[in-house]
Amino acid sequence: MNQENIKQFLKQLGEIEIKEKEPLRRHTTFKIGGPADFFISVGNKESLKKLLLFSFDSKLPVFMIGGGSNLLVSDQGINGLVLHLDGEFNIIKETQADGSVICGAGIPFTKLIAEAAENGLGGLEFGWGIPGTVGGAVINNAGSKGEWILDYVEKIRFLTSNGEEGTINRGQIISAYRFSGLKHEDRVITEVFLKLVKKDKQEIKKSLEEFAGKRKHSQPLDMPSAGSVFKNPKGCFAANLIEESGCKGLREGGVMVSNRHANFIVNVGGGKAKEVLSLIKTIRERVKTRFGVNLELEIELVGF
């Protein structure tokens, strides 16, 4: 299907914002990424259904982007449609006294935590400062210090690639360290149902301040990055292996291995995806040579 036919269809839809050849560096925490053919912010379920069905029938590739964290997007960008959930997907829809919360999958994780805290609901404090949306957090089972978002999820609602609605209960979702069985399934999460814990507001606030302080002290939050690049191998920390392999401070063009946290690659200015890939290759080779460990990527490579 040619670009004009795609544009004509998109213009018929309500509550969407369309940008052609939109640089994805504007939408990733790494500030890296080439253009999307079409970058579309969609604000309601009916428009999303029509977009998914259209792309399915037209065999157009679709990529969902949330907060743009945990991603390395190719310098060539992404073909097809890049969809971003907004509007009704970016709110908490219901909060109950027993801790039940229903929210849109496009709401930032930290916004959910903050609004829940205002209602005296905790449990997700470990996620304070983790960038990205709730939908992305669920797909990747975001967590810290042995706590995971899926511990608090009761069910999710989703749309299939052809726009059909469905529901998955927590017991049907396979989960592990920084992983869920939803990751490679052909679904778009639209709503997340959680069961949080009733807590004192001041207790929650104190926990949030502690988590924020630890992250500020240990992570290079003042520079663009995609978060931890590698998963922690069983029984050890990737950052320690990388540092002890002499990789801290390594630089390739506009990106470098952080001097503050060796499992972060930071964009020091004008960084390119190809430069990040080069650093990843060097780190893996050095760690493999020194420790015999194959580091597994935590970040997702898109458009390569």
Average pLDDT over residues 258-282: 98
- Whose tokens are 């726009």? That residue is 163
**CA–CA dist 99, 252 (Å, integer):** 47
Distances in whole angstroms, Cα of residue 178 to Cα of each of 134, 147, 254: 14, 10, 28
Q: Which residue has the higher pLDDT, 146 or 78?
A: 78
At residue 75's C-alpha, the angle toward residues 74 and 80, to 5°, is 65
Is 26 in a helix, a strand, or coil?
helix
pLDDT at 144: 83
Q: What are phi and psi of 193, to 5 degrees?
A: -105, 120
Q: Which residue has the higher pLDDT, 264 or 3?
A: 264
- Predicted confidence band of residue 143 (pLDDT cuts 50, 70, 90): confident
Percentage of residues of the chain with pLDDT beyond 70: 99
- Predicted confidence band of residue 184 (pLDDT cuts 50, 70, 90): confident
- Predicted confidence band of residue 47 (pLDDT cuts 50, 70, 90): very high
pLDDT at 185: 77
The matching CATH number, chosen from 3.30.470.20, 3.40.50.300, 3.30.43.10, 3.40.190.10, for 3-87 is 3.30.43.10
- Predicted confidence band of residue 179 (pLDDT cuts 50, 70, 90): confident
Is 272 in a helix, a strand, or coil?
coil
CATH architecture of 220-302: Alpha-Beta Complex (3.90)
The matching CATH number, chosen from 3.90.79.10, 1.10.3720.10, 3.30.465.10, 3.40.47.10, for 92-203 is 3.30.465.10
Label residue 291 left, alpha or beta by phi (over 0 means left) and psi (-120 to 50 means alpha).
Answer: alpha
Is the pLDDT score of 176 beyond 70? Answer: yes
Enumerate the domain spans of the chain: 3-87, 92-203, 220-302
Average pLDDT over residues 79-100: 95
pLDDT at 1: 63
One fold for 3-87 and 220-302: no
Give, as one character, the DSSP assignment of residue 43.
-
- Predicted confidence band of residue 272 (pLDDT cuts 50, 70, 90): very high
Q: What is the pLDDT of the chain when averaged over all its residues? A: 94
Average pLDDT over residues 3-31: 88
| Positions marked catalytic | 178, 228, 298
Distances in whole angstroms, Cα of residue 93 to Cα of each of 17, 63, 116, 130: 22, 25, 12, 22
Is the pLDDT score of 14 beyond 80? Answer: no
